[in-house]
Amino acid sequence: MRACGEPSGALTPSLVADIRRVFEAQRATALRLRTSTLKERIGKLERLRASLVAHREQILQATAEDLGRPAAETDLAELVPLLADLAEHRRHLGAWLRPRRVRATALLFGTRAWVRREPRGRCLILSPWNYPIVLALGPLIPAVACGNTVILKTSEFAPHSSAVVAKIVHEVFEEHEVALFEGDASVAGELLTLPFDHLFFTGAPAIGKVVMAAAAKHLASVTLELGGKSPVIIDENADLELAVKTLAWTKFLNAGQTCIAPDHVYVHAAVHDKVLELFKRRLDAWYGGAHALEARDFGRIVNERHTQRLICLLEDARARGAQLPYGGEADLARRFIAPTLLTEVPDEAHIMQEEIFGPLLPLIPYQSLDAVIDRINGAPKPLAMYLWTRNRSSAQRVIERTSAGGTCINHAAAQFLHHNLPFGGVNHSGIGSYHGEWGIRTFSHERAVLEAKLMLARMFFPPYGRRVQRLSALLRRWLS
């Protein structure tokens, strides 16, 4: 199903007209939704939950067709987080939206003040293809909960999943409140010309710059959920078995096409060889080693272009001297890249310069933790960082001396599931955050309200004679 009856593809004059018609229709709705009740908003979230549950089988089929993904991965990585987020919003939305009283400061004695969260207005959500359900509907939850209208643009690279999301949105919402448009980059480009009040984008940093530039033209607020090369550190004191199991799962989930997946692993030289062998054994057990192409629990790359990009990264690394102690097989026509481990990868290799976003994992031995910290600080700030250690002082040293969107100690990717934590990047890996109450903060404006009960300011009205000067001096002494 396509929004407004348009096929998925390039921008057409009729689609431009539809986009502008819906955007204009959402203006009146955005004004009306400012006074929508908590019950009304929770009711919409409940209808979204029911539709999501009702379409589970279609979602599983769609993600299998788009990404070759096993059903268990879609359940765990997309449906479970969405249902958990909906439950949190139903339970806590009243408290999150309740006006918050703030105490009067010394200078404003005689006033009362509070902060109220109000909807930003008309919002645009641009979602990616790698997790086409949770990264489309996840931001939609707080946007609707805050009382905004939304236009949602899904990715053309996951057409089956996009069609299911469109069906859910069409069933739950009227288009003057939430509308969905499909199509290629030209459709997104048209949407970015419109004066939305807030833009929410998930995707690559290069496109994030385009979105931010578009927002600047209308002085719109923006949330950018980007990516980057998320590093892992495994020291000599770590629980190596648990570290390898967890990292192998989170790295090769969705065939490595995860923004918070481990990108490369710094392993203490004393345990490097053991960690390598543990990875080999784990990948053999889970994905069948040389038979990974037939493994039911291992996904596919989204399209041939992205598959070719990963093949080029492999070929470049090998040409520069990198070793492949495990994996390396590729089948372009079947969009397959085997789970692959790389060692002895030179810094100048392209795989060490750009986000991998696939099932390729470089292992890098180290002797000095300070040297690893320097390397991390020499690169753009990552979306995630993972530390495996039993030494709390080492973990604290890394956290204090580096910057990242989020960090797990002796875990990986769990920060995405913890909805009492903000999820987002920093600088190159993103701007802003969401999940739980943090999503409410993102999609609402915190409006300051002050009411005067006792107007002491009248003592300072002009003319500024000796009385005002004496009072001003008294205030300065009191506050000094």
Tokens of 159: 């057409």
Q: In Å, what is the CA distance from 202 to each residue of 124, 211, 303, 317, 403? A: 11, 10, 19, 28, 20
Based on the residue annotation, tell me whether 225 is a catalytic residue of this protein.
Answer: yes
Portions of the chain given CATH number 3.40.309.10: 231-424
pLDDT of residue 3: 43
pLDDT of residue 220: 97
Portions of the chain given CATH number 3.40.605.10: 3-226+433-446
Based on the residue annotation, tell me whether 259 is a catalytic residue of this protein.
Answer: yes
Question: How is 192-211 classified by DSSP, letter by letter?
Answer: TTS--SEEEEES-HHHHHHH
Q: Which of 259, 355, 408, 437 is catalytic?
A: 259
Q: Alpha-carbon distance 301 to 306, whole Å?
A: 7
Class of domain 231-424: alpha beta
Q: Which of 177, 225, 355, 437 is catalytic?
A: 225
Q: Alpha-carbon distance 224 to 203, whole Å?
A: 8
Task: Specify burial of residue 285 (Cβ count, 10 A radius: 0-12, 13-18, 19+).
Answer: exposed
Global pTM value: 0.94
pLDDT of residue 106: 82
CATH of 3-226+433-446, one of 3.40.50.620, 3.40.605.10, 1.10.1200.10, 3.40.50.300: 3.40.605.10
Closest CA to 174 of 144, 146, 145: 144
pLDDT tens digits, the chain, 480 residues: what are they?
344 334 458 889 999 999 999 999 999 999 999 999 999 999 999 999 999 999 999 999 999 999 999 999 999 999 999 999 999 999 999 999 999 999 988 888 889 999 999 999 999 999 999 999 999 999 999 999 999 999 999 999 999 999 999 999 999 999 999 999 999 999 999 999 999 999 999 999 999 999 999 999 999 999 999 999 999 999 999 999 999 999 999 999 999 999 999 999 999 999 999 999 999 999 999 998 778 888 889 999 999 999 999 999 999 999 999 999 999 999 999 999 999 999 999 999 999 999 999 999 999 999 999 999 999 999 999 999 999 999 999 999 999 999 999 999 999 999 999 999 999 999 999 999 999 999 999 999 999 999 998 888 888 889 998 888 998 898 888 888
Tokens of 470: 């004496």
Q: Alpha-carbon distance 339 to 108, whole Å?
A: 63
Contact 198, 124 (CB under 8 A): yes
The neighbour count for residue 459, using CB atoms within 10 Å, is: 9
Closest CA to 233 of 283, 194, 204, 267: 267
